[in-house]
A and B are shown apart, each in its own frame.
Chain A
Amino acid sequence: MDRMISESWNLPSQFETTWNGLNVTAEQSFLDANWDKKCTDQFTHFEPVLSSNLGFSNDFALRELIGKLSIVNSGGLPATPDGAAAAMAVATNDDSTKSSCYSTPSNSSPKLHFPILDQINMRHLGNSLPLTPPLPALSCDPGFAERAAKFSCFGSRSFNGRTSPFGSINAMENFNLNRVSSSPSLKQAGSPVENKNLNQSQTEFRSLGGMVDKKWNKLSGAGAYSDEASSVSEQIPSGELGSKTPNEHNSRKRKAISKGKAKENTSTSAKGFEDYNNPKTKRSKPQEISKNENDDVKAEEEAKLNPNGAEDESEKQKENQKPPEPPKDYIHVRARRGQATDSHSLAERVRREKISERMKFLQDLVPGCNKVTGKALMLDEIINYVQLLQHRVEFLSMKLASVNTRLDFDMENLHSKDIFQEKGNLPQQMYPLHSSASVFYNHQSQQNIQLNDAHISRGPLNQYSMDPLDAHNPGIQLSSIDGFGESLTQFPAFSGHDLQSIIQMGFDKDPVKETAFHSDSFHVPNQTSHMKVEL
């Protein structure tokens, strides 16, 4: 199959005419195709057909294609293959083919032919403009229109590529734009699928545009047998194009080809296909297959060699949204100039780059990491931050546990803004744990942590004689007194037992946590004991 396809690419002229004809008719006539998902599904039926057929000579391939199409779809839409066949027959201007075309379809609807012919006559080959309003005759045949729309996708790509000067990116860009914008039907149904395919095929197209290497042909040819129907169609004309155009876009092509390959689940990894797993991280711009690495490192390349970053970046982002790629066996990395090329250093470089990539993400997350450079320092910051967050969780859970000993909240008095009032009272930084804890409890009581620490051993009664709570807010005091009174009756052993357990817990833990617990744990029993005193 591969060989056949590559050979077929050596017959450009015939192929070109037929494809042009096909394209013209497709574009003109089949604009109103409704691209529902069915169309994609239908096309997947054709995919093996297509791939097998393209091994033959071009005219023949087309005819076979049409024939098979008609056969496959003969059940549903008898009229449609006629139109397609007629169109193509007209385009090829081959009487013999006409007969063969017409022989295959089951029915014939002559009235379909004329509008098509008219359309064809009106257009000229150099037309790469957006499609015109649909033909009324064709609107009765949605299936036909679908297939034809697929054909237009099929043909116009190659067509456009060919009209523009070889390898000029601009043409391809235009083509891309036209492609995307010109067919509103494309956008309607299944458009996300289509657009995705478009993007894929765009990259593939560009990538394959410069190919001369037989190996690459084989790759793309093999790639034609992927699951993606439209990518199949794209690759065939683009591959054909590649055989003609010079190697103008090697770099871009290679990037794209590896991306294209990434999408296709090729099993021929032995030949040197690149796959990518883990769409979350950015995929690197692939390099030429300089060597095969036999260590099955399931890694992604992060080396950004290629200066043409922008477009591929965006496409990579799009691709990153897709479901994860199948795991790959080989990484293909190109050695940079002046660097060692043995496999281990390459693998190491890949690994290093991945790590640095992820460190960049971490830099965004961890505050204050921007100024820090170097792995060790960054790791330091990260460790500190994780520890900080973990301690905060502990602290907050303790606080919430203590909060709940207070009274029930009257729902009517709760306003949303109060609930969503931001953590004005809570400190942001908890590095100085003592001071933070004191700030935290500040608006309730203005005790210092030192007080807590100092007096806890002496017993709870002493410090509360001058309790700043009185001065601060009598309302709270009253309510909390009530609350604590109630809670005390419920949990008679609250203060004593809790106090003991808290102190013990504080001493059991490691020093860092211990400080945290000292500060908040001491406060709580103080409150209860305070309440006790008041009562």
Chain B
Amino acid sequence: MKARTGYSTSLKQEFLKKWIKGIRIYSNFKKDMNILERKKAIKLSADLAIASTRNASTRWSRTLTANISKNETNKLFVEQIFSDSEVIKKEAPSRLMARSNRIASKKIWRRSHITQIKARKMGPYAVKASSIAKKLVKNRTKVLKSLVPGGENMDGISLIKETLDYIVSLRVQVDVMRRLASAAENSTRLGLSSKCSVHWLQGIFTVLDHWCAMVH
């Protein structure tokens, strides 16, 4: 357990740093954003940050960055942030193709033969029960695949692995964001100075910087 918490704290710090960086760059891109744009900026930077903590080693992180970069306006933003490491975006498609073909052909075979084999082994009633159960599982895996980015072409085993990783990262993201939000609330509750920020992000930056200083 201790190792786990240590790992997640470092992960949180890394995420926070990258997130701040992303927000800063975005705000330099665009001034005078309305609330929705701000929210989009925040979310985008958060997603990119959490995906980059994986260093493109997982499918979901690669897909996430790829999806974000698909949008032309975001592309520049992304490239600016990740001038260093994220060249691996290109790698995903080719492997995807081979993998999906293989999986598809496997599935076809299985679908055609599996009921035969089962009927031979067990009685006909047993086959039906198990096939119902299988259908249930299948539907749910479909839903899960739609939820996890990049989960479409994965088989069950790696899907679960990706989900594991994705859940961990999501939790980190949520945790950091929540703490930040509550910190912001607390500081407003204290009734701080009447000086107002010129830029909407300065407030969040001060909080973030302060927090980083605390954490390190």
Pair B137/A376 contact, Cβ less than 8 Å? yes
Asked if B189 is at the interface of the complex by the 8 Å CB criterion, the answer is: yes
Q: Which of B144, B164, B186 contacts A365 (CB 8 A)?
A: B164
Besides the known contacts A379-B141, A422-B179, A444-B185, 10 further A-B residue pairs in the complex with CB atoms under 8 A apart: A386-B170, A389-B174, A397-B39, A397-B43, A397-B177, A403-B184, A408-B196, A409-B207, A476-B191, A494-B35
Q: Which of A379, A392, A413 contacts B137 (CB 8 A)?
A: A379
Pair B140/A403 contact, Cβ less than 8 Å? no
* A340-358 interface code vs B (CB 8 A; 1 in, 0 out): 1000100000010011001
Q: How far is the CA of A401 from the CA of B36 in the complex (A)?
A: 8
Pair B179/A420 contact, Cβ less than 8 Å? yes
* A380-391 interface code vs B (CB 8 A; 1 in, 0 out): 101101110110
Pair B183/A421 contact, Cβ less than 8 Å? yes
Q: Which of A386, A400, A403, A414 contacts B166 (CB 8 A)?
A: A386
Q: Show 18 A/B contacts (Cβ-Cβ < 8 Å), sorted by A.
A: A354-B157, A362-B163, A362-B164, A380-B140, A382-B167, A389-B174, A397-B46, A401-B35, A403-B181, A407-B195, A419-B183, A420-B179, A421-B182, A444-B185, A476-B191, A479-B191, A480-B188, A494-B35
Pair A405/B39 contact, Cβ less than 8 Å? no
With a cutoff of 8 Å between Cβ atoms, the chain B residues found around residue A371 in the complex are none
Pair A418/B183 contact, Cβ less than 8 Å? yes
Asked if A406 is at the interface of the complex by the 8 Å CB criterion, the answer is: yes
Q: How far is the CA of A402 from the CA of B188 in the complex (A)?
A: 13
Pair A386/B35 contact, Cβ less than 8 Å? no
Pair B177/A400 contact, Cβ less than 8 Å? yes
Pair B189/A355 contact, Cβ less than 8 Å? no
Known: A362-B163, A397-B177, A443-B189. A483 touches B157 (CB 8 A): no
Number of residues on chain B facing chain A (CB within 8 A): 66
Q: How far is the CA of A385 from the CA of B144 in the complex (A)?
A: 11
Pair B188/A524 contact, Cβ less than 8 Å? no
With a cutoff of 8 Å between Cβ atoms, the chain B residues found around residue A418 in the complex are 183, 186-187, 190
Interface stretch, picked from A132-140, A245-253, A496-504, is A496-504
Pair B170/A408 contact, Cβ less than 8 Å? no
A403 and chain B: residue at smallest CB distance: B184
Asked if B104 is at the interface of the complex by the 8 Å CB criterion, the answer is: no
Pair A407/B186 contact, Cβ less than 8 Å? no
Known: A379-B137, A409-B192, A486-B196. A423 touches B179 (CB 8 A): yes
Q: How far is the CA of A490 from the CA of B177 in the complex (A)?
A: 26
Where the two chains meet, the residues of B that have a C-beta atom closer than 8 Å to any C-beta of A are 32, 34-36, 38-39, 41-43, 46-47, 117, 121, 133, 136-137, 140-141, 143-144, 147-148, 156-157, 160-161, 163-164, 166-168, 170-171, 173-174, 177-197, 200-204, 206-207, 210-211, 214
Where the two chains meet, the residues of A that have a C-beta atom closer than 8 Å to any C-beta of B are 299, 340, 344, 351, 354-355, 358-359, 361-362, 365-366, 375-376, 379-380, 382-383, 385-387, 389-390, 392-394, 396-411, 413-414, 416, 418-426, 443-444, 473, 475-476, 478-480, 482-483, 486-487, 490-491, 493-494, 497-498, 501-502, 505, 524
With a cutoff of 8 Å between Cβ atoms, the chain A residues found around residue B182 in the complex are 421-426
With a cutoff of 8 Å between Cβ atoms, the chain B residues found around residue A416 in the complex are 214
Most chain B CB within a 10 A radius of its CB, from A359, A383, A385: A383
Q: How far is the CA of A501 from the CA of B167 in the complex (A)?
A: 31
Known: A397-B46, A426-B178. A402 touches B193 (CB 8 A): no
Known: A421-B186, A423-B178, A479-B194. A407 touches B140 (CB 8 A): no
Pair B179/A351 contact, Cβ less than 8 Å? no
Pair B34/A497 contact, Cβ less than 8 Å? yes
Pair B214/A419 contact, Cβ less than 8 Å? yes
The 3 closest A-B pairs by CB, nearest first: A408-B197, A401-B39, A401-B38
A398 and chain B: residue at smallest CB distance: B39
Majority secondary structure of chain A interface residues (helix, strand, loop or mixed): helix
With a cutoff of 8 Å between Cβ atoms, the chain A residues found around residue B34 in the complex are 491, 493-494, 497-498, 501
Min CB–CB distance B82 → chain A (angstroms): 20
B156 and chain A: residue at smallest CB distance: A355
A418 and chain B: residue at smallest CB distance: B186
Min CB–CB distance B160 → chain A (angstroms): 4
Min CB–CB distance B182 → chain A (angstroms): 5
With a cutoff of 8 Å between Cβ atoms, the chain A residues found around residue B177 in the complex are 393, 396-397, 400
A379 and chain B: residue at smallest CB distance: B140
Most chain A CB within a 10 A radius of its CB, from B32, B36, B180: B36
Pair B148/A475 contact, Cβ less than 8 Å? no
With a cutoff of 8 Å between Cβ atoms, the chain B residues found around residue A389 in the complex are 167, 170-171, 173-174
Q: Which of A344, A376, A487 contacts B136 (CB 8 A)?
A: A376
B191 and chain A: residue at smallest CB distance: A475
Q: Which of A382, A399, A404, A478 contacts B203 (CB 8 A)?
A: A404
With a cutoff of 8 Å between Cβ atoms, the chain A residues found around residue B186 in the complex are 418-419, 421
With a cutoff of 8 Å between Cβ atoms, the chain A residues found around residue B163 in the complex are 362, 382, 386
